[in-house]
Amino acid sequence: MTSPASDDVPDYAPVPPSALGPALNDQGYYVGRVERNLYWVTDGVYNSAFLTTPDGVVLFDAPPSIGHNLQRAVDEIAAAEGVSNRVTHLVYSHHHADHGAASSLFADVVRIGHEDTRRLLLRDDDPSRPAPEVTFADRYTLEVGGERVELAWHGPNHTPDNIYIHFPDHDTLMFIDVVNAGWVPIYNLNLNLSEDVIGYMGAPATALSYPWTHLISGHVGRLATRDDVAVHQQYIADIEASSREALASVNPVPFYVNAGANVWLGIKGHLNAVTEAAAAPVIAKYTGVLAAADIEEFTTTTTFAIMQSLRLDKGPSGPVHP
């Protein structure tokens, strides 16, 4: 594998300091207290959480990029607080491997997740992500060692099975792969091709309907706030509004005429023009506000996904032939 020379790296806008989290330790992770006995762990790109209780530790997601540092983080807190370091339960936020493929590092734990998480993990047959034994359809209250965590499914968003994990006694919500604190979503509405665009766009409002101060969002190096969610919502709303305007203003006819018999080339030209017109003002507005806003591929692919969803999900995709 080769690495680009420093001279080959484009000159992008500096990352706003507000987008950055705490420094990592020598082993490549940071662990911090969220509230009371709820802690979060990050490697600067991914994050997860754990709850210490008298009956053991409950782990929420197991990103492989953090890997064995998850147990090291638990050990660090357990030694400092004089509590058990034994992980007894593991909750999957959803089935994706980038958030769960270190699950197999933890033996003899009770795995919990949405019923679709079990279905999808059985389908994928990945030994690094054993399917949850305890599942639920809409809501599940997890009670361990006198602590209570509310798990809920409010419909598909990033994935069909992505759930909301609420810690009512810790003023915290964990909701993965939708909002990135201080950063734009990357390719196609975040890291792993969000599967339900309309659900993805509506999910932040559902998250804000919960009472919380701290949001564990699954990515980047800091916790999110309610203000972060509001900025994300505005970014997405601006893309939607700009996409509607571009769909109405870009004339598709010349692209198809110029493409002749190659209709796919006509579609490419038309939809690329709409996407570029819609994305440009959003990129300009959020550069310096959200980190990586000026990396055009991120906003353009997100814009394309939203624009296509407007055409196909909300409609109409175009004028009806007389």
**Are the beta carbons of 177 and 194 closer than 8 angstroms?**
yes
Rounded CA separation 296/302 (Å)? 10
**Beta partners for 53?**
56
Rounded CA separation 178/194 (Å)? 9
Percent of the chain residues topping a pLDDT of 70: 93
Rounded CA separation 183/169 (Å)? 28
Which residues touch 247 (CB under 8 Å, ≥6 apart)? 274, 278, 307, 310, 311
pLDDT tens sequence across 138-177: 999 999 999 999 999 999 999 999 999 999 999 999 999 9
pTM of the model: 0.94
pLDDT for residue 191: 46
Rounded CA separation 152/206 (Å)? 11
Give the HSE-up count for residue 176: Cα atoms under 13 Å, Cβ half-sphere.
31
Give the HSE-up count for residue 119: Cα atoms under 13 Å, Cβ half-sphere.
9
DSSP assignment, residue 39? Answer: E
**Are the beta carbons of 27 and 72 closer than 8 angstroms?**
yes
**Are the beta carbons of 32 and 23 closer than 8 angstroms?**
no
Query: Is the model more confident about 275 or about 188?
Result: 275
- Mean per-residue pLDDT over the chain, rounded: 94
pLDDT tens sequence across 106-132: 999 999 999 999 999 999 999 999 999
Rounded CA separation 107/52 (Å)? 18
Per-residue pLDDT band at 8 (split at 50, 70, 90)? low
Mean pLDDT value of segment 276-302: 95
